[in-house]
Amino acid sequence: MKRFLIIIFSLLSLCSCVDEQQFTNTPEGNMEALWKIIDQHYCFLEYKSQAIGLDWNEVRATYRQRLHPNMNSYQLQEVLCNMLAELRDGHVNLYTASDVGRYWSWKEDYPSNLDTEVRDSYLGTDYRIAAGMRYKILDDNVGYILYTSFSSGIGEGNIAEVLHYLRLCSGLIIDVRGNGGGQLDYAQRLASHFTNERILVGYTQHKTGPGHNEFSSFTEEYLEPSTTVRWQKPVIVLTNRGCYSSTNTFVRDMLCCPLVKTLGDSTGGGSGMPFTSELPNGWSIRFSACPQYDRNKQHIEFGIAPTIPCALQEEDLKKGKDTLIEKAREILNQE
- For residue 102, the minimal CB distance to another protein (Å) is 15
State which of residues 204, 228, 307, 313 lies at the interface with another protein (CB under 8 A).
204
Which residue's CB is nearer to another protein, number 103 or number 275? 275
Nearest distance from residue 290's CB to another protein, in Å?
A: 6
- Our CB check for another protein shows the closer of 45 and 324 to be 45
Least distance from another protein to the Cβ atom of residue 108, Å: 24
Residues 6+ apart with CB under 8 A from 127: 134, 135, 136
The yes or no reply on residue 208 touching another protein (CB under 8 A) is: yes
Give the separation between CA 245 and CA 175, rounded to whole angstroms.
16
Site string for another protein, 247-266 (x = CB under 8 A): --------------------
The DSSP symbol for 197 reads S
Cβ–Cβ under 8 Å, residues 292 and 275: no
Residue 278 engages another protein in binding (rule: CB under 8 A)? yes
How many whole angstroms separate alpha carbon 278 and alpha carbon 93? 11
SS (H, E, C) 206-257: CECCCCCCCECCCEEEEECCCCCCCCCCCEEEEECCCCECHHHHHHHHHCCC
Residue 269 and residue 106 in contact, taking contact as beta carbons nearer than 8 Å: yes
The candidate with the shortest Cα–Cα distance to 298, out of 224, 218, 184, is 218
End-to-end CA distance of the chain: 89
When binding is defined by CB under 8 A, the residue of 157, 210, 309, 320 that contacts another protein is 210
Please name every residue paired with 199 in a beta bridge, in sequence order, or none if there are none: 223
Counting contacts by CB under 8 A, is residue 19 touching another protein?
yes
From residue 195, give the alpha-carbon distance in Å to each of 134, 179, 190, 231, 300.
Answer: 22, 22, 10, 8, 22
Dist CA 63 CA 41 (whole Å): 19
User: Applying CB under 8 A, which part among 10-18, 68-76, 293-301, 314-322 lies near another protein?
Assistant: 10-18
Site membership for another protein, residue 214 (CB under 8 A): yes
Measure the CA–CA gap between 88 and 98, rounded to whole angstroms. Answer: 22
For another protein, which is the closer residue by CB, 23 or 302? 23
Contact residue for another protein among 163, 237, 289, 328 (CB under 8 A): 289
Q: Contact with another protein (CB under 8 A): which of 280, 295, 313, 316?
A: 280
- Cβ neighbours of residue 246 under 8 Å, at least 6 residues apart? 150, 181, 182, 183, 184, 186, 187
Instruction: Check residue 290 for interaction with another protein (CB under 8 A).
Output: yes
Between the CA of residue 300 and those of 245, 272, 292, what are the distances in Å?
10, 9, 7
* Residue placing its CB nearer to another protein in the complex, 290 or 317: 290
One residue of 273, 304, 312, 332 binding another protein per CB under 8 A? 273
> Which residue in 26, 141, 281, 313 binds another protein (CB under 8 A)?
281
Least Å from the CB of residue 205 to another protein: 9
> Per CB under 8 A, does 212 bind another protein?
no
Tell me the window of 31-39, 105-113, 160-168, 250-258 that interacts with another protein (CB under 8 A).
Answer: 31-39
Whether 312 contacts 322, CB under 8 Å = yes
Check binding of 276 to another protein (CB under 8 A): yes
Residues 36-65: x where in contact with another protein by CB under 8 A, - otherwise, as a string: xx---x-x----------------------
Closest to another protein by CB, 225 or 233: 225
Contact footprint for another protein (CB under 8 A): 11, 14-22, 25, 33, 36-37, 41, 43, 184, 204, 206-210, 214, 216, 219, 273-278, 280-282, 284, 286, 289-290
